[in-house]
Amino acid sequence: MANTETSLKEAAQIEGAIGAALVDYTSGMALGTIGGGKELDLNMAAAGNTDVVRAKVRTMEMLGLKDGIEDILITLGGQYHLIRLLNSRDANGLFLYLALDKTRANLAMARRQLQQIGDKIQV
């Protein structure tokens, strides 16, 4: 099991990473961030992506879908934004957010690595 700081450091090592955050989507608050800077305000991104997660959860409920969300991908012109919901007992209501530079990232590998980080995080 890994703590928040260790998990975010691992996420920052993913090829093409711009920044990462662990976010509580019940409050919209980032529990921890790494990277970002002038290029990306991770606290703002945490709050905004909370709305994305809540909207998708509501939509699934309205559709009667009984499946769980693994991840959400937002593709921009120069970036990928990955949202990985955490479903362990310790991390329910949390998601990992990762922003990637499209020119340097391997999306499939990043998704896999973020899944592995999420699977071992302990809050």
Q: Which of 34, 53, 54, 29 is nearest to 98 (CA)?
A: 34
pLDDT at 89: 65
For residues 68 and 91, the answer to whether their CB atoms sit within 8 Å is no
Q: For 28-52, what is each residue's pLDDT tens digit?
A: 999 999 999 888 999 999 999 999 9
The CA-based angle 72-78-83, given to 5 degrees, is 15
pTM of the full predicted structure?
0.92
Phi, psi of 90 (to 5 degrees): -70, -30
pLDDT at 91: 64
Look up residue 71 and give its two tokens. 């991840």
pLDDT at 93: 85
